[in-house]
């Protein structure tokens, strides 16, 4: 009887807790509060993993799972992305045919600026990711745009991230249009999709550090800080949006367009959630 009572008490508390944690507003432009969202998400992870410092979330799943962290630290002794960063630096410094270079397109010559992306661009009226800015720079200088997911664009992005290490993300939402983009990204993050009926949050909020077959999904907090990443599965460097597409395929959904509005807004939302954390890209992941 005592066991039954305990189970009943546990069940009632779990029900109450789940209700009290779910949001009932924040789904309209009038009610959405990005800063409250960010703090709530941090608080959620702090409650679940009280021994993990918020600053350690930049290390993804390796902040939560000690055995994985041990393996990763060994990988980081000879970082698999090292040559890519070097190649990215070379690409970054190679002048375009017109004599300009990437440095001419960015603040501070493109050095140490990763933390400012993605950002709301007033002139364009849209969110601009670092990879989009790289390709816009190329096209403005008469060069062909690079493929979005891997190869040269990931290498240039990796180099730019590398020069930004330890800089703190502090994305701004300057107006209602930017807030609408944030809200759209937030909705994308929490909306279930695909035949498996799963959202980003299923794996990377509620499912963080819980086995899905043999994999441990990382927490969304700090997710974006270490991109682009060299993934062992890929055997090469890839961008965040390459991963987005992979995730959507994993839940048997047709992937949305790389660097399309939906993915850029999603990246904006996810990065805003990591405001206050530092850039530590590029990273190495399984």
Partner 1 sequence: MNKTISLVAALMMVSAGVSAQSFDEAFNAQRAMYGKGHSFTFEGQTYTTDHPEEVAAAVEANADNAAKLLAAAKDQHAQVAAVDFGWTLTKNLLKASAKALASGDFRKSMDISAQAQYHARMGMVQYHQSQKEWVMAVPE
* Residues identified as active-site: 247
Burial of 282 (0-12, 13-18, 19+ CB in 10 A): buried
Sole binder of partner 1 in the list 153, 205, 240, 247 (CB under 8 A): 205
* Smallest separation (angstroms) from partner 1 to the CB of 182: 13
User: 130-160 in b/e burial notation, b at 16+ Cβ within 10 A?
Assistant: bbbbbbebbeebeeeebebbbebbbbbbbbb
Q: Which is nearer to partner 1, 100 or 256 (CB)?
A: 256
Map residues 226-265 to x or -, x wherever contact with partner 1 holds by CB under 8 A: -----------------------x--xxx-x-----x---
Q: Which is nearer to partner 1, 65 or 261 (CB)?
A: 261
Other beta carbons within 10 Å of 262? 15
Q: Per CB under 8 A, which region of 14-22, 154-162, 166-174, 211-219 contacts partner 1?
A: 14-22
Q: Which is nearer to partner 1, 42 or 135 (CB)?
A: 42
Q: Which is nearer to partner 1, 110 or 207 (CB)?
A: 207
Other beta carbons within 10 Å of 180? 14
What does DSSP assign to residue 224? G
Please check whether residue 110 is in contact with residue 116, taking contact to mean a CB–CB distance below 8 angstroms. Answer: no
The Cα–Cα gap between 245 and 105 comes to: 28
Sole binder of partner 1 in the list 17, 23, 210, 212 (CB under 8 A): 23
* Smallest separation (angstroms) from partner 1 to the CB of 45: 9
* Smallest separation (angstroms) from partner 1 to the CB of 256: 6
Q: Which is nearer to partner 1, 159 or 269 (CB)?
A: 269
Which DSSP string corresponds to 234-249?
A: TTEEE-HHHHHHHHHH
Sole binder of partner 1 in the list 3, 22, 30, 97 (CB under 8 A): 22
What does DSSP assign to residue 63? G
Q: Is 186 in the site for partner 1 (CB under 8 A)?
A: yes
* Smallest separation (angstroms) from partner 1 to the CB of 274: 15
* Smallest separation (angstroms) from partner 1 to the CB of 30: 13
CA dist 227 → 216, 223, 236, 245 (Å) = 18, 8, 13, 15
Cis peptide before 282 (omega within 30 of 0): yes
Q: H-helix or E-strand containing 127?
A: strand 126-128
Interacting residues with partner 1 (CB under 8 A): 5, 8-9, 11-12, 15, 20-27, 37, 40-41, 43-44, 186-187, 190-195, 197, 199, 201-202, 205-206, 249, 252-254, 256, 262
């Amino acid at each position: 009887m005592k066991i039954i009572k305990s189970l009943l008490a546990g069940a009632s508390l779990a029900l109450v807790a789940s209700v009290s944690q779910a949001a009932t507003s924040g789904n309209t432009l009038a009610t959405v509060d990005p800063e409250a969202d960010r703090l709530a998400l941090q608080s959620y992870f702090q409650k679940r993993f009280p021994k993990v410092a918020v600053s350690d979330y930049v290390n993804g799943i390796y902040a939560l799972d000690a055995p994985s962290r041990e393996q990763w630290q060994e990988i980081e002794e000879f970082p698999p992305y090292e040559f890519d960063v070097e190649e990215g630096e070379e690409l970054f410094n190679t002048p375009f045919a017109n004599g300009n270079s990437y440095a001419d397109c960015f603040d501070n010559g493109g050095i140490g600026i990763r933390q400012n992306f993605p950002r709301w661009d007033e002139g364009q009226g849209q969110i601009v990711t670092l990879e989009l800015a790289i390709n816009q720079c190329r096209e403005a200088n008469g060069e062909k745009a690079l493929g979005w997911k891997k190869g040269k664009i990931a290498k240039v992005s990796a180099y730019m991230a590398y020069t930004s290490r330890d800089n703190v993300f502090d994305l701004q939402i300057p107006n209602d249009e930017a807030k609408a983009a944030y809200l759209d990204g937030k909705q994308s993050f929490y909306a279930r999709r695909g035949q498996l009926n799963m959202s980003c949050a299923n794996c990377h909020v509620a499912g963080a550090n819980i086995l899905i077959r043999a994999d441990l999904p990382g927490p969304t907090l700090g997710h974006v800080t270490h991109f682009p990443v060299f993934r062992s599965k890929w055997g090469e460097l890839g961008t965040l949006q390459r991963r987005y597409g992979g995730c959507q395929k994993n839940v048997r959904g047709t992937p949305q367009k790389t660097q399309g509005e939906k993915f850029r807004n999603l990246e904006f939302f996810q990065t805003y959630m990591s405001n206050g954390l530092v850039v530590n890209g590029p990273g190495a992941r399984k």
